Structure 1
Amino acid sequence: MIKKLYLPLVALLVLAFSSCSKMGELSPDYFTTNPEVLEAIGGKVPVTITGKFPEKYFKKNATVEVTPVLRWEGGEAKGQPATFQGEKVQGNDQTISYKTGGTYTMKASFDYVPEMAKSELYL
């Protein structure tokens, strides 16, 4: 009796764990910034980020929050997050198609501090 239940139980566990997989990280090649080298203007560091979700990347029932973070040695500053949703999610966020992917543009602005002179932008 136990042997008869073993195979279906293993198949069910494999199915359950594979359906809950996370989306992998995106390559930096899918993102561009304008300006390419960030600069302080009037006490602020403005940036426009353009990104692309490739086809068959964004799960249909996923919700993803993207937050721009400017990091430097000894600190970081977070920008305004943007939320994206899959096709089967009900909500008011930007919907990304599973088949065709999608593009987005987000603007961020950080209050300038001198330590930011050597910093990197992360999403």
Structure 2
Amino acid sequence: MRVLADITVAAPAAEDETPPRGAPVPTGAEPVLGALLRAWRERALVTQEELAARAGLNVRTVRRLEAGAMSRPRATSLRLLADALGLEAAELATLTRAATGTAIELTVTLRYVEEPGD
């Protein structure tokens, strides 16, 4: 089985919609980071364990990010994950905006495709 991820990210929200630094992220914004990371990981056809190994991070970090349990990861961790996933500069920028709590409009569609022989 193969996973195809269609990820659509709209332009960043207006500046006045971004919460002040240190303020809690608005309800509903927390899963964006996890959804992005999971979609890009599944697009790369790697498990959480494989991504963690490629990025040189603990698998617990990847799990917590995807689950929304870690809403403000270190910039270094984001860069390592982006490199391990082969993200383009625009995708890294989107991941960074999501990690800092900047409101973004996001649609993620995961399609599971059965290949012959599965």
TM-score, normalised by the number of residues in structure 2: 0.26
Identify, as 1 or 2, the structure richer in strand: 1
**Larger relative contact order (CA 8 Å, sep ≥ 6):** 2
Relative to its length, the structure with more helix (as a share) is 2
TM-score normalized by the length of structure 1: 0.25
